[in-house]
Structure 1
Amino acid sequence: MTDPPRAPASVSVPDSGKYLTSSVAGAAKILVVGPLGVGKTTLVGTVSEIKPLFTEAAMSQAGAGVDTAVDCAKTTTTVSLDFGRLTIDGDLVLYLFGTPGQQRFLPAWRDLAKGALGALALVDTRDLTASFDALGNLEDLDLPFAVAVNTFPGSPRYGVDDLRSALDLLPGTPLVTCDARDRASSIRALAALVRHLIDTATEPS
């Protein structure tokens, strides 16, 4: 698999505080989606310049039959949303909304999608089929998205063409790799999405 594209040189993360700076000229609502345990909460927490909001709850025995994740050690799950904020180049703010990973939370998922400009879809090569529901939901909502393969220790590595075929991605859909635990890597994935949204918005009709 090729390395993820580098973020443009203009992308930087200022030492932001609780409030936005006066240089901010625009904002975008972005979803971070994917199956249970793919790293959505981790990515939002990694890049957020403010204290992120998490709605984690302990995974119960009652949900053991339906809440399955590749990482068997996972003990909590997002039940509403994750929220964080990232300022890019001092003038563009991304409001990041992490969605629940289980399909039974789809009504809440669709509510979160209202007003979103696009989405970053995380996938795990240890179980690519687990991502099909999230990708299908984005297509149903007609929401532009980029796909980021979150690398886990020991996870299989596949070529770009094989991944695109397995995930049934359109040729124009960005496909990058990232490590949700690494700030720079996660920002590069979000930058790939932002570039895609700009390209999509400026395409001739």
Structure 2
Amino acid sequence: MVHSGPARFGPPAARRAEGGPSVISAKIVVGGGFGAGKTTFVGSVSEIAPLTTEAVLTDASTSVDDLAATPDKSTTTVAMDFGRLSLDAELILYLFGTPGQHRFWFMWDDLIRGAIGAVVLVDTRRLADCFAAVDFFEDRGLPYVVGVNCFDGVLSHSVEDVREALAIESAVPIIACDARERESTKNTLIALVEHAMRRSVAARA
């Protein structure tokens, strides 16, 4: 069950079975610019068939959405993507991918409610597209990590260059990842959980 209130790491709220291991569920948001790989990220790591709300790009949308770096993209998320990942027997992550087009960003505040943190996916070919996502999560005080998506398996810019370009503080993890690869996306999510836990512990110290 996804928590609807403010997220905290604390006592488990459910058990798999009588006498079985305690289960903690956590909500994670996957954000970023248009075409950054959010739907692919959720789909590659989800242990269930991901729920997607994609619509075909129309001629009208191509006039406002930059497809130069993603000429083969034919659909876009209009509400959210949803997936699930069990990190182990006691921790289940529920993943919510946000729509990337600016005209759907009014939904973001609803999507982050109850989340423990966010992954901001970055396409280094269009760094400016993720500025708004970074600002959004920072303004709301939500822990986040930056996932530098290696399109075609190539990291076009170093992690240090991305940190400098986005003016990301040193405490925020930046991870090179491949949204198509399950282990890569899983490691990015683990980095986020660890970062959110550190933030939670520090806030209560």
- What's the TM-score, normalizing by structure 2? 0.86
Give the CA RMSD over aligned residues: 1.6
**Greater relative contact order (CA < 8 Å, ≥ 6 in sequence):** 1
Which residue of the partner structure matches residue 104 of structure 2? Answer: 105
User: 2: CA distance between counterparts of 1:68 and 1:158?
Assistant: 21
List per-residue Cα deviations over 1:131-177 (Å, max 9, x = no partner): 11111111122211000001012756223322111011011000001
Call closer, same or farther: CA 1:154–1:118 in 2, change over 3 Å: closer
The letter for the 1-side match of 2:99 is P
The letter for the 2-side match of 1:168 is A
User: 2: CA distance between counterparts of 1:184 and 1:155?
Assistant: 16
Q: Identity rate of aligned residues, in percent?
A: 47
Which residue of the partner structure matches residue 186 of structure 1? Answer: 185
> 56, 59, 62: which is aligned to 2:60?
62
- Maintained 8 Å contact 2:155/2:176: no
List per-residue Cα deviations over 1:88-138 (Å, max 9, x = no partner): 121111100000001221211111111111001100111111111111111
Give the match's secondary structure for 1:117: strand
Which residue of the partner structure matches residue 201 of structure 1? Answer: 200
- Maintained 8 Å contact 1:118/1:197: yes
Which residue of the partner structure matches residue 42 of structure 2? Answer: 44
Q: What's the CA shift for 1:192?
A: 0.5
Q: What's the CA shift for 1:24?
A: 4.8
Which residue of the partner structure matches residue 127 of structure 1? Answer: 126
Call closer, same or farther: CA 1:78–1:188 in 2, change over 3 Å: same
The letter for the 1-side match of 2:49 is K
- Maintained 8 Å contact 1:103/1:133: no
The letter for the 1-side match of 2:151 is F
User: 2: CA distance between counterparts of 1:198 and 1:103?
Assistant: 30
The letter for the 2-side match of 1:201 is S
Call closer, same or farther: CA 1:123–1:201 in 2, change over 3 Å: same
State how many pairs are aligned. Answer: 186
Give the match's secondary structure for 2:124: coil
Which residue of the partner structure matches residue 13 of structure 1? Answer: none
- Maintained 8 Å contact 1:126/1:155: no
Call closer, same or farther: CA 1:154–1:193 in 2, change over 3 Å: closer
Larger mean CA deviation between 158-167 and 39-48 belongs to 158-167
Which residue of the partner structure matches residue 27 of structure 1? Answer: 25
Q: What's the CA shift for 1:21?
A: 4.5
Give the match's secondary structure for 2:168: coil
Which residue of the partner structure matches residue 166 of structure 1? Answer: 165
User: 1: CA distance between counterparts of 2:44 and 2:145?
Assistant: 18
- What's the TM-score, normalizing by structure 1? 0.86
- Maintained 8 Å contact 2:16/2:23: no
Which residue of the partner structure matches residue 4 of structure 2? Answer: none
The letter for the 2-side match of 1:39 is G
- Maintained 8 Å contact 1:125/1:155: no
The letter for the 2-side match of 1:92 is L
List gaps (5 residues or longer) in structure 1: 1-19
Give the match's secondary structure for 1:93: strand
